[in-house]
Chains A and B, each alone.
Chain A
Amino acid sequence: MTNLLNPATAVDDGPVPETTRSDWASDQEVRWCPGCGDYSILTALQLLMPELGVRREKTVFISGIGCAARFPYYMNTYGVHTIHGRSPAVATGLAMARPDLDIWVIGGDGDMLSIGGNHLIHALRRNVNLNILMFNNQIYGLTKGQFSPTSEVGKVTKSSPVGALARPFNPISMALGAEASFAARTHDMDRHHMQEVFRRAHDHDGAAFVEVLQNCNVFNDGAFAAITKKDVRKDMLIDLQHGKPILFGSEEQYGVALAPEGAVIVEVAKLGLENVMVHDETIRNPSNAFALSRLAKTPDTPTPVGVFRSIERDEFSSSVAAQIDEIQAQLGQGKLENLLRSQPIWEV
């Protein structure tokens, strides 16, 4: 990027060493509540990392505040546990300073959609090369159970004893509205699905936003049980597959079609397979992805999971570096003597 050298970027690369899960686990005791969905997300990621072909020392986990934000302590990589909501901002600065790093940003719905909402939307808009995993449990866990920006209307919590009033955010809709080049959803009950989505997020060049439906068994137990329990999944989760008709149900008897009012669930037998929407992640216009994101209003109706959108778009930190490179190619490396003489000067 410049003539200025970071010792850490000067490391001779060579082949990436083989690793196993234990190489990616730190020596810290994991301190989430027993039964918390965070455990399975951690396991999924620790098992996936050896398959990604990346170095531990080039991998950084950045988080804000909340239960999810403890994640970096458990990964044997570089990591920073920052302050509430600001992880996308810290990660953006790090990505710009160090485009060689593989940066994961971990946070919850309160951290990323409430106090840090502004940073999240701007990181997505800029398309900074970050893998952003937002664990959505629809509650504030670490502060012991207040409603969150994804809690449903009417939710009774300590801070809403007669029911929460405000309409919740739909995280995928919000990400798409913020120009996300990659938006996906997965859930903590299916390791394989998580890993596939995380892998896709990692391989995406730009900001990859992943909503992970996560069970907080202490303050909001079963929030997603109606869709993620093993025996209901086939009927309640709509697995988006690029290039394939969007079908679900034990017999794939249901599908999704585009109607004037948006995406709707149809019976394939009635409508005909040819009228079922074929999923295309790569359409630049986000309308279809947005329609899919609006399909389920609450997590008790059939809900799409998988990659909603994945398009190629200029990545921010490399564009910033390219501007610097281009100027340096034009002008050469700056010389301080010349800078000091760049305004009118005179001799005494």
Chain B
Amino acid sequence: MTEIGGASSAPALELDEVIIRFAGDSGDGMQLTGDRFTNASAMFGNDLATLPEYPAEIRAPAGTMAGVSAFQVHISDHDITTPGDAPDVLVAMNPAALKSDLSTLVQGGTLIVNKDTFEERNLAKAGYESNPLDGEDLSGYRVIEVAMTTLTKEACAELGVKPRDADRSKNFFALGLLSWMYSRPIEPTIDWIDSKFAGKDMVIAANKAAFSAGHAYGETAELGAQRVVVKAAPLLKGTYTNINGNTALSWGLVAASQLSGLPLFLGSYPITPASDILHELSKHKAFGVTTFQAEDEIAAIGSAVGASYGGSIGVTTTSGPGVALKGEAMGLAVSLELPLIVVDVQRGGPSTGLPTKTEAADLMMAMYGRHGECPMPIVAPRTPADCFDTAIEAARIALVHQTPVMLLSDGYLANGSEPWRLPDVADLPNIDVEFATAFNMVNEDGEESFWPYLRDENLNRPIALPGTPGLMHRIGGIEKDDGTGNVSYDPENHERMVRLRHERVASIPIPDAVLEDGSTGNADLLMVGWGSTWGAITGACRRVRSTGGEVDHVHLTHLNPLPANLGDLLRSYRRVLVPELNLGQLVRILRAEYLVDARPLSKVKGQPFTAGEIQFAIIADINEFSGSPNEPTSTTTKKGVAV
């Protein structure tokens, strides 16, 4: 390995940030390559954000546009909040990747192609009539052509690796080359190869050889590209790990179990993009976590209701189509007034929609998508790491207020990652849960009894777990008498119970909405967001402010109930703009609740907002209302502005 890590003679160019996009065929290992580059950058100390994008098909026909899989990573020496508007560097492993992703690359950006794949068959599959590397089409970019396949095979040949197997290592060649170009540390990748492929010595040798060859190629070849350094970001002191949303969410659920002292039970049915939570929690039996891969979405939530009834924290995880199927069982949990966590990792809809693409169009379903008056608290994380805290918050509400809670994540948060400063476990507040163990009523005949719907001052009913002597009782989805819990068709009682169920959710104490950092409270325009749009809205607001514009931002974690001060806050602004990855769902709720003229900013392309798109809308809004002649500038303001 002596050739690895050798210092280049030329001094490296220092940049404050760079956006790199790895694109290739689904079989080319682009997600892995991006992930490794990200981890090396995280270990190096950059701030970062990622956007994995892959097709729904496991193996779409090789070499076609449908099969292109991409991973975008934004690394910087300062605090960033999005995976970047447009990449500075595009790595295209085949013609289809070039064709599908070239339009994302900034003008003058660096294009690195595996030229071995630009032959007749692959060009035809991508729909190229002539080889784009030969013509003038790419003249606006700095093109670096590398025979990655050939060089990988040569590097592996002396190890005795068959050419076909060597071909599979070419993504490590690309990773080695990029690691050299961007001065990434190599140890994390080498260590990872050793542990990931432990026991498969040939694979380890081939991947390392490819990685080294790519690195050495960068160092020795006349690439016409200067080596770049993006220095570490000044992050707060602490211990960091790079985490994606689904992992953070899973760990938050484990933490909630530890903090409440109740076992965690997950009932789930595999569905993209939520399955990784099932996978992750299945690994944590040491924490007493029980996972149940049910026969369908309804059984998944049904089993979670059963586990909650038995005294566990019942959780079910799914995506939009699954939530649609779980509606009736959520109603049961509302009626039983039992804790339950329903995690919806939202994806493009309706129906099968865009399974692997992000969207946030399930808010109305979370709010109103059950029959009858059937309120559920709703929380939404804003970043991948925030999924940890939000999962604990969902559990806290569910357990303390004895209600099913909906947690709305999305595909972008689920798979995107960021550096996360680990919390001190001792600082996490306990979740106190009490179960009934004694009679709570004396009947007319003087005998003591247990009334399962006799409420306390917080409108909570006593929960007596099966197994508790003396407190045997029956509950069900039929309307029941407030107090005794016996079946009741009494009209007055039903109205009381409907209002009580509403009040129980509406009165859950949640923190006031606070303006995000950088907001002054003096702007005319307030941006209101929820969920994963936080990064893009924050980035957009920073850019606007850096050029003298004024805009404030409030971001909602709690969507039901809404913060008590939200109405006053909204009314204190002249204009309210609500960016959402739907056609305007929160905005309708805000208008209905507060009679404010909030306006939507919608995007439904299966992709997150870029900061540029929101920046453009903010500037257009400011100009329209200030009468200023300033035209909105480019949506892709690049260097020097923190986004």
Interface residues of A (CB under 8 A from B): 1-9, 11, 26, 28, 55-58, 60-62, 72-73, 75-84, 86, 88-98, 100-101, 118-119, 122, 320, 323-324, 327-328, 331-334, 336-337, 339-341, 343-348
Additional 5 contacts, C-beta under 8 A, given A96-B303, A100-B467: A57-B467, A83-B328, A83-B331, A333-B288, A346-B45
Which residues in A have their C-beta under 8 angstroms from that of B247? 343
Q: Check if A93 sits within 8 Å of B466, measured CB to CB.
A: no
Contact with A345, one of B263, B296, B422 (Cβ below 8 angstroms): B422
- Decide: A11 near B467, CB < 8 A? Known: A93-B292, A339-B251: yes
- Decide: A93 near B306, CB < 8 A? Known: A4-B288, A80-B336, A98-B311: yes
The chain B residue with its CB closest to the CB of A98 is B310
> Bound state CA distance, A297 and B38, in angstroms?
66
Q: Does B164 contact A (CB under 8 A)?
A: no
Q: Does B302 contact A (CB under 8 A)?
A: yes
Q: Does B299 contact A (CB under 8 A)?
A: yes
Which residues in A have their C-beta under 8 angstroms from that of B469? 11, 55, 57
> Bound state CA distance, A347 and B43, in angstroms?
9
Shortest distance between the CB of A197 and any CB in chain B (Å)? 25
Q: Check if A97 sits within 8 Å of B263, measured CB to CB.
A: yes
Q: Check if A86 sits within 8 Å of B298, measured CB to CB.
A: yes
Which residues in A have their C-beta under 8 angstroms from that of B425? 336-337, 340
Chain B 255-296 interface mask (CB, 8 Å, partner A; 1/0) = 101100111010100000000000000001111111010111
Which residues in B have their C-beta under 8 angstroms from that of A341? 239, 241, 422
Which residues in A have their C-beta under 8 angstroms from that of B42? 344, 346
Q: Which of B591-636 contact A (CB under 8 A)?
A: none
Q: What are 19 A-B residue pairs whose CB atoms fall within 8 Å in the complex?
A: A4-B288, A7-B311, A8-B311, A9-B467, A78-B473, A80-B476, A86-B298, A94-B306, A97-B311, A328-B285, A328-B288, A331-B286, A334-B284, A334-B286, A336-B258, A339-B287, A345-B240, A345-B422, A348-B421
> Bound state CA distance, A234 and B497, in angstroms?
53
Q: Check if B299 sits within 8 Å of A92, measured CB to CB.
A: yes
Q: Check if B265 sits within 8 Å of A97, measured CB to CB.
A: yes
Q: Check if B286 sits within 8 Å of A81, measured CB to CB.
A: no
- Decide: A348 near B254, CB < 8 A? Known: A81-B477, A328-B285: no
Which residues in A have their C-beta under 8 angstroms from that of B258? 336
Q: Check if A7 sits within 8 Å of B474, measured CB to CB.
A: no
Q: Check if B437 sits within 8 Å of A118, measured CB to CB.
A: no
Interface residues of B, dominant DSSP: mixed
Which residues in A have their C-beta under 8 angstroms from that of B265? 93, 96-97
Q: Does B397 contact A (CB under 8 A)?
A: no
> Bound state CA distance, A98 and B303, in angstroms?
12
Contact with A344, one of B242, B287, B471 (Cβ below 8 angstroms): B242
Q: Check if A56 sits within 8 Å of B472, measured CB to CB.
A: yes
> Bound state CA distance, A80 and B465, in angstroms?
12
Shortest distance between the CB of B198 and any CB in chain A (Å)? 16
Shortest distance between the CB of A231 and any CB in chain B (Å)? 39
Q: Check if B466 sits within 8 Å of A118, measured CB to CB.
A: no
Which residues in A have their C-beta under 8 angstroms from that of B305? 82, 90, 93
Interface residues of B (CB under 8 A from A): 39, 42-43, 45, 188, 232, 235-243, 247, 251, 254-255, 257-258, 261-263, 265, 267, 284-290, 292, 294-296, 298-300, 302-312, 314, 328-329, 331-332, 336, 421-423, 425, 435, 437, 464-478, 486-487
- Decide: A324 near B290, CB < 8 A? Known: A92-B299, A343-B243: yes
Shortest distance between the CB of A221 and any CB in chain B (Å)? 26
Which residues in A have their C-beta under 8 angstroms from that of B331? 83
Which residues in B have their C-beta under 8 angstroms from that of A94? 306-307, 309-310, 466
Which 3 pairs across A and B sit closest by C-beta, in order of nearness?
A81-B476, A2-B288, A93-B303
Q: Check if B242 sits within 8 Å of A343, measured CB to CB.
A: yes
The chain A residue with its CB closest to the CB of B191 is A344
The chain A residue with its CB closest to the CB of B267 is A93
Q: Check if B254 sits within 8 Å of A334, measured CB to CB.
A: yes
The chain B residue with its CB closest to the CB of A26 is B474
Which residues in B have their C-beta under 8 angstroms from that of A97? 263, 265, 290, 306-307, 310-312
- Decide: A93 near B288, CB < 8 A? Known: A57-B472, A118-B295, A122-B299: no
Which residues in A have their C-beta under 8 angstroms from that of B329? 83, 86
The chain A residue with its CB closest to the CB of B301 is A89
> Bound state CA distance, A79 and B311, in angstroms?
14
Q: Check if B302 sits within 8 Å of A119, measured CB to CB.
A: yes
Which residues in B have their C-beta under 8 angstroms from that of A61? 474
> Bound state CA distance, A207 and B43, in angstroms?
51
Which residues in B have their C-beta under 8 angstroms from that of A72? 474, 476
Contact with A346, one of B239, B306, B307, B472 (Cβ below 8 angstroms): B239
Contact with A343, one of B241, B290, B471 (Cβ below 8 angstroms): B241
> Bound state CA distance, A82 and B36, in angstroms?
48
Q: Check if B487 sits within 8 Å of A11, measured CB to CB.
A: no
